[in-house]
């Protein structure tokens, strides 16, 4: 008997999946059949997606909210679509794009139109991923130009740091004492020593 599944993906742990989850619950998909990954869509090495792939059988039905939730790599989306529909023999419904519903139009014209729409949307998904990376890089460059620093703040070294290091290097004081006098962790102490 055919089973209905849902797949949800968000790019990071702090992104909210509620919009996708609500859409799938409205279709009354059993909670145990909804798979969620909080991971980038750059490839399909996602734990829940892989679990879902092992579960899917011929004539099952898979719902996704939009094609970019499946992935953001043009060639891999097309390949996964082929595996799902041709090799596994399941139907896929993309809720935000009614033309991508493999239950309809199984004739040559329907398949042709579905393939064209899939290719266009897959291209758009990958293109958006590239745009996100470019916008991120531009944002970081603009922030750096404004003097914003990224990463952990530098820990200031004490005024007598050079003397402490010199005493430590001459083995006049042990490492633990040198680090203690500087008031920093061992790794910060070693990283703060100027390279010779």
Rg (CA), the chain: 27
Rounded CA separation 91/76 (Å): 18
To 10 degrees, what angle do helices 108-145 and 74-82 make? Answer: 150
In what helix (H) or strand (E) does residue 75 lie, and over which residues does it extend?
helix 74-82
pLDDT of residue 133: 76
pLDDT of residue 111: 63
**Taking the model in full, what pTM does it have?**
0.61
pLDDT of residue 103: 82
Which one is catalytic: 11, 66, 167, 192? 11
Q: Which segments of the chain have a pLDDT < 50?
A: none
**Is position 11 annotated as part of the catalytic site?**
yes
DSSP designation for 39: S
pLDDT of residue 58: 94
pLDDT of residue 47: 94
Burial class (CB in 10 A: 0-12, 13-18, 19+), 77: buried
Q: Note the pLDDT tens digit of each residue in 129-177.
A: 677 778 788 888 888 888 888 877 777 888 999 999 999 999 999 999 9
């Amino acid at each position: 008997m055919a089973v209905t599944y849902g797949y949800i993906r968000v790019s990071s742990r702090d992104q909210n999946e509620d919009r996708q989850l609500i859409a799938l619950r409205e279709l009354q998909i059993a909670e145990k059949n909804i798979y969620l990954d909080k991971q980038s869509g750059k490839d399909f090495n996602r734990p829940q997606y892989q679990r879902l792939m092992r579960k899917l059988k011929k004539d099952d039905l898979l719902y996704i909210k939009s094609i970019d939730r499946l992935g953001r790599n043009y060639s891999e989306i097309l390949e996964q679509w082929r595996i799902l529909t041709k090799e596994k023999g399941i139907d896929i419904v993309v809720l935000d794009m009614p033309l991508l519903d493999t239950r309809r139009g199984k004739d040559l014209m329907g398949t042709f139109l579905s393939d064209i729409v899939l290719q266009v949307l897959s291209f758009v998904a990958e293109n958006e991923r590239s745009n996100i990376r470019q916008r991120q890089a531009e944002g970081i460059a603009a922030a750096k130009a404004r003097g914003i620093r990224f990463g952990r703040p530098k820990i200031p070294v004490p005024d007598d740091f050079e003397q402490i290091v010199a005493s430590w290097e001459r083995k006049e004081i042990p490492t633990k004492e040198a680090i203690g006098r500087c008031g920093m962790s061992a790794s910060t102490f070693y990283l703060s020593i100027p390279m010779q």
